[in-house]
A and B are shown apart, each in its own frame.
Chain A
Amino acid sequence: IAGITQAPTSQILAAGRRMTLRCTQDMRHNAMYWYRQDLGLGLRLIHYSNTAGTTGKGEVPDGYSVSRANTDDFPLTLASAVPSQTSVYFCASSPGLAGPNEQFFGPGTRLTVL
């Protein structure tokens, strides 16, 4: 089934633990993104990747890291989770070709850091 999958669906994590959120797309899109969504703040870009092998920082990158070893996968890692990272995380992708690009979103991961 074409689209974006995220795992896990939800997670409760103790502060200080390391956590990797997984994101996979099968649309062969060049560009991928990680957002966090918090009540009253909307969606904020954490990191992005325009193509495999490259990544860039978004609006709120601190405390997060990403890698883009191949076209399909774009994992987000929290090296040492803190309660302020409690949020809903969305992965998205877009064709990344010349011209305007719509983004396709995954179903999200709800993360609670205690």
Chain B
Amino acid sequence: SQQGEEDPQALSIQEGENATMNCSYKTSINNLQWYRQNSGRGLVHLILIRSNEREKHSGRLRVTLDTSKKSSSLLITASRAADTASYFCATSGGSNYKLTFGKGTLLTVNP
């Protein structure tokens, strides 16, 4: 069964606005990762946050993690048309390296 669930399923914004996507999960995790997928391409890793971290930044990306609520958010600031893509959260738990992906949020940034 799916571990992560993204919300919203789709998001449409104007260039320059901020985009926030949320991810909820069900069981304990070691880390949570966010990936991006452009149409027709493979996934690309964006950022990883460990279970003992609460916030992490990378360029225009800001990720938060609330393990008490089993949720994470991805904020993209000052969005660009090139940010148009699907964004997936993925969780990792246990002693192996497997990830469980959510169904994704389709972000459309209009120029």
Contact = CB atoms under 8 A, between A and B. Distances in A.
- Which of B30, B90, B96, B101 has most A Cβ within 10 Å? B101
Most B CB contacts (10 A, CB to CB) among A33, A50, A56, A100 go to: A100
Given A40-B103, A100-B92, A108 B41 contact: yes
Interface in A35-56: 35, 40-45, 48, 50, 56
Interface size class of A (residues with CB under 8 A): 20 to 34
Contacts of A31: 97
A101 B102 CA distance: 17
Contacts of A105: 42-44
Contacts of A50: 96-97
B45 A103 contact: yes
Interface of A: 4, 31, 33, 35, 40-45, 48, 50, 56, 58-59, 90, 92, 94, 96, 100-108
25 contacts: A33-B98, A41-B103, A42-B2, A42-B101, A42-B102, A42-B104, A43-B101, A45-B99, A45-B100, A50-B96, A58-B98, A59-B1, A90-B42, A92-B42, A92-B43, A100-B30, A100-B48, A100-B50, A101-B92, A103-B45, A103-B99, A104-B45, A105-B44, A106-B42, A108-B40
